[in-house]
Chain A
Amino acid sequence: MIPAAAHQEVLAVVGPRGVLDRPEDLTLYEYDGSVDKARPDMVAFPRSTEEVAALVRIANKYHLPFVGRGAGTGLSGGMVARAGGLMISFARMNRILEIDLPNERVVVQPGVVNLDVTLAVQGDGYFYAPDPSSQRACTIGGNVSENAGGPHTLAYGVTTNHVLGLEVVLPDGSIVTTGGKETDQPGYDLTGLFTGNEGTMVLVTKVWLRLMRAPEMVKTILAIYNSAEDAGRTVQEITARAITPVAVEMLDGLMLRMVEEATGAGYPLDAAAVLLIELEGLKEAVEEQVEQIRQCCAACNAREFRIARSAEERDLLWKGRKNAFGAVGRVASAYYVQDGVVPRTQIAGTLRVIGEVADRHGLKISNIFHAGDGNMHPIIMFDKHKPGDLERAQRAGEEILEHCIRVGGSITGEHGVGMEKNEMMGHLFDEASLAMIGRFKNLFDPECRLNPGKVLPLGKGCMEIRQRPLSAASEI
C-alpha cells in the first residue's frame, strides 16, 4: 500500500489527473504481453525528466518499490510490478524532441511509439531500423530497456546498435546523460551497459537514436515448402552462399493457417512451412540476390517461390507476419511465447525437438520466428481455464529453452529475461557470472526498489537488503 503522505506527494508532482489508483484502473496495469501478473498500488504519469526524478525520490523516501512502464507490450513480464508499489508510466513523455536528418539522428522521449519514429522520417528517405512486431504500439523506452529486436535486425542489428545516447534517472533520483548525437565520446560505454538492463538499473527518460537511409530497392519473397526441415536447410544454404538478406522469417504450417484466416495475406493453407525473405539495397545487388535466393530455395525443395509485385503485396505479407500473435488469439484462449536462440545450423533439429515437446505435453505449439539469426518463437497454446494447463505450457517452454542452451544458444534473443525466465538464468550462466550481474544491480539500486524480482533467480538479485517476500501473484 502507498502511505497517504506519499500519495499526496505524488499528486503534488504529477497532478490529480496524472495518477491512477482505483482497483479497476490498476487492473489494466498488472500485466504485459506474457502470462505473469502483479498489481501496482499506484500508477503515475510524469511529463518530464524532473517529474520522474521527483517520483523516484518519493519512492525512496517512503521505501516503495517502483517500476517503469512503456506500452506494456513486453513478453517477459519486464514491467510487471512484482512487488507492487509505484508504477511510473511514460505514456505522457511521448514527444519526438528533434529530427536531425543531416546528422542521421533523432532525439525522443521514452514514450514515443517505435513505428512513429520511422513514420516521422520516411518521407525524407530515412528509417529507424529495429522493428519489433509490436512496433505499432511499443515504445522506444521499453525497446531500450529490453534491447528489443525484430525481423530486420538480422542485417541492421538490435536496439543497442542504434542507441547513441541516453538520459536516465538513477534509483537515487539523480539524472545522468551518457553519449549523445556524437559517437566516440571518451569513457566507459554506459549507454551500452544501460541498454537491455530490463528496467532494473535505471529509468530511461530521453534517447538519442541513429537513423538509416532507406534502401533503393526492396524485394520480398515468399518461399513455400512441404517440409519444415527443407525451410530450415534453406536458411543454412543462404548463409553458406554468403547472401545477406535483411530478414528471413519462418512460419510453420499451423501458424500460417492461423495467420491466413486472420489476415488473408495470401499464405498457402496446405504448406508445411514458408520463409518470408527480404532483400534490400542497391538495385544491382538486390536483383542478383533474388536469383541466388531462388537457387537456394530450389536446391532445398521449395515448391513455390513468389516475389511481391507491389508495395501493397509486400505490406500484406508483412502484415501476416507482424500480426501473428493476434491471429493466435483468435484460435487459442491463451498462449505463451518463447524466445530461445540457437546457432543457425541447429534450426532444423530444434524444430524437431519442439515437436517432440508438444507431443509429450499434449499441447499445440506453433512456430513463427526469425530464422535468419536462429531466434525461435515457439507459441505454446493452452487453455487458461483448464487446471494445470498453464503449468504444462510453462514446463514445455522450459524444456525448449533447455534444448537451446544445450546446443550453444540462449534463453532469450529479444524479449528479455524478466520474471518469466529468471530462474532459467542459472542454467545459462555460472554462479560467478550471475553474482556479477547482481553486483551491478546492487551498485545502482542498493535498496532493491527498482523493478525487483527480475532477471536474476530470486534470492540472487539483491545482495544487501532483501525485498519483502514476493507473493506468487499470478492468478491468471
Chain B
Amino acid sequence: MEILHPDTPAGLAEALAAAGAARQRIRLGGAFTKNRMGGPVGPADAVVSTDRLTRVLQYEPKDLTISVEAGLRVAELNRVLAENRQMVPLDPPFGAQATVGGVLAANCTGPRRRLYGTGRDLVIGMKFATLRGELIQTGGMVVKNVAGLDMGKLLVGSFGTLAAMAVVNFKLIPMPPETGTFAQRFETAVDLLEARDRLVRGVLQPAAVDLLNPAAARRVGLDGFVLLVQAGGNRAVMARYASELTRAEALDDGIWERVREFTPEFLGEHASGMVERRWSTLEGMRAVMELKEPVVARGGNGVAWVYHANGETYRGAGVMEWGPEDGTGRAAGWPEPGAELDVMRRIKNMFDPAGLLNAGRLYGRI
C-alpha cells in the first residue's frame, strides 16, 4: 500500500486532494499508535501520515501560546515547553510516541483534565487540510477569540473522518512550583466515592482525581479501592493537601505514568482485549467501580474505562473505545446513538461525500 509522508501543511493538503480525486480510501494518522481505537476500521487504498510535520512554528513563552505542526509528538512538545516551565497537560496514552494531531483527533485525555480541561479547552486555533486540497484556518494565536465558527471543536474527537489537522495552536499552562501525589485506600466503592465527594465538594482544587478499583489498583502496584490525587502549588499548598487528605499515602509522581499507560499496557498483554469507555454523572459511578474487571476512572469528570480481557464481559453499556487486534467483535461499538447522529452524518457528508477518510473510525457509525 502506498504510504505518503507529506512534510508541509500544503503537502498534506495536496496528498489528500490527490487521493480524493483518485477516489482512494485513505487511512489517516500520525504515529498510528491507536490502530485499535474507535473501529472497526475499514479497508484503505492509501495511508497518509503526518509524522513528518514536526516543526514548532511559533512559540512566544510570554504570550503563553504555541503553534506546532500536527505530527509533532506530544512528548516533544512538552519537552520544548518545559524549558520555560510551561505545559500542555493532555497526558495521553502512548505518551512517548503519540502525536499532537493523533491525540486530538482521538480526543485522548488524561488525569489532569479535572483542572486543566481536555483538547477542546486547550486548543485555540488550527489549520486543517480537506479532501478538496484546501487548508482551512479556524481560531488563531490568542486565547480569547470568537471570530468565525469554532470548527476546531469539531475536529477534536473526529478521528480523522472529516479532515486532517496540519497545524495546532495551544494555550499554555504554567507549571506549578511543586506537585504532589496522594493515594487514599478504601474497602468499598461506596467509601471511595464518599471520599471523592468530600474532595470535589471542598475548596481544594486538585489537578487529578482518579479512581481505581482493586483489579486496576493491583496492576499499578497498589491495592483496594484507590483515590489517586495530584495537586500543584507552593509548599504551603502541598502541606495543606497532606493534612486534609486524611490517611493518604504520598506517592511519587511516577505513578501517573502507570495510570496514563494503563491502556497501552493492557492491550499489549491482551491481543483480544477491549477497553470500554463509560460516561456518567459523578453520582452515577458506583456500578462501574464495582465491576470485577479493572476499572480506571476520572473521578472528577464521570468518565470510566473498563478493561475486558476479551469480548465476553462487555455488556454494551458504553462505547468500545479500544478493540481486539484482529478487529473482530466490534459491531456494537456505539450501541445507542441518538438523533444527533443524523447531524453528524450530514457534516461527514459535507466534508467527505464519498466516505474516503478513516472509514469506520467513529465506532462504525460514521
Interface residues of A (CB under 8 A from B): 100, 102-105, 125, 146-147, 149, 153, 157-158, 160-161, 170, 174, 176-178, 181-193, 195-197, 201, 213-216, 236, 239-240, 242, 244, 281-282, 284-285, 288, 341-345, 370, 373-375, 408-417, 421, 425, 428-430, 432-434, 436-437, 439-440, 443, 455
Contacts and interface: CB of A to CB of B under 8 A. Distances in A.
- The 4 tightest CB contacts between A and B, nearest first, are A192-B153, A242-B174, A284-B236, A216-B203
Interface in B315-366: 319, 334, 337-344, 346-347, 350, 362-363, 365-366
Interface string B248-284: 0000000000000000000000000000010111111
A184 B277 contact: yes
Given A213-B201, A343-B63, A413 B280 contact: no
A274 B362 CA distance: 51
B62 A189 contact: no
Interface of B: 60, 62-65, 85, 109, 117, 120-121, 130, 134-138, 140-151, 153-154, 156-158, 162, 174-175, 177, 197, 200-205, 233-234, 236-237, 239-240, 277, 279-284, 301-303, 319, 334, 337-344, 346-347, 350, 362-363, 365-366
Nearest to B233: A285
A188 B145 contact: no
B233 A433 contact: no
Contacts of B153: 160, 189, 191-193, 195
B158 A188 contact: yes
Contact of A455 (B148, B174, B302, B344): B148
Nearest to B58: A408
B236 A240 contact: no
Contacts of A345: 60, 62-63
B352 to A, nearest CB: 13
Contact of A344 (B62, B157, B197, B239): B62
A147 B150 contact: yes
A413 B339 contact: no
B144 A370 contact: yes
Contact of B205 (A185, A192, A282): A282
27 contacts: A103-B302, A104-B282, A153-B144, A177-B338, A187-B341, A188-B362, A190-B340, A190-B344, A192-B156, A193-B150, A213-B203, A239-B63, A282-B233, A284-B233, A284-B240, A343-B63, A344-B62, A344-B64, A373-B144, A410-B142, A412-B146, A425-B148, A432-B134, A432-B135, A433-B148, A440-B151, A455-B149
A178 B143 contact: no
A102 B197 contact: yes
B120 A192 contact: yes
A104 B282 CA distance: 8
Given A187-B344, A344-B62, A413 B142 contact: yes
B85 A417 contact: no
A244 B174 contact: yes
B136 A373 contact: no
Contacts of A102: 197, 201, 281-283
Interface centre among B136, B197, B365 (most CB of A within 10 A): B136
B144 A149 contact: yes
A443 B347 contact: yes
B140 A410 contact: yes
Contact of B151 (A184, A215, A436): A436
Contacts of A341: 142, 144-145
A430 B127 CA distance: 12
Contacts of A344: 62-64
Interface centre among A149, A191, A192, A215 (most CB of B within 10 A): A192
Contact of B344 (A188, A342, A416, A433): A188
Contacts of A216: 203
A437 B149 CA distance: 6
B81 to A, nearest CB: 12
A455 B201 CA distance: 41
A196 B150 contact: yes
B234 A288 contact: yes
B141 A373 contact: no
Given A239-B63, A433-B136, 11 more contacts: A102-B282, A103-B281, A158-B144, A161-B120, A182-B284, A183-B301, A213-B205, A344-B62, A410-B144, A436-B136, A439-B350
A282 B136 contact: no
B138 A186 contact: no
Interface centre among A214, A288, A414 (most CB of B within 10 A): A288
Given A192-B154, A343-B60, A410-B145, A284 B319 contact: no
A475 to B, nearest CB: 28
Nearest to A235: B62
B186 to A, nearest CB: 19
Nearest to B174: A242
B281 A443 contact: no
Contacts of A373: 142-144
A312 B350 CA distance: 54
A102 B52 CA distance: 46
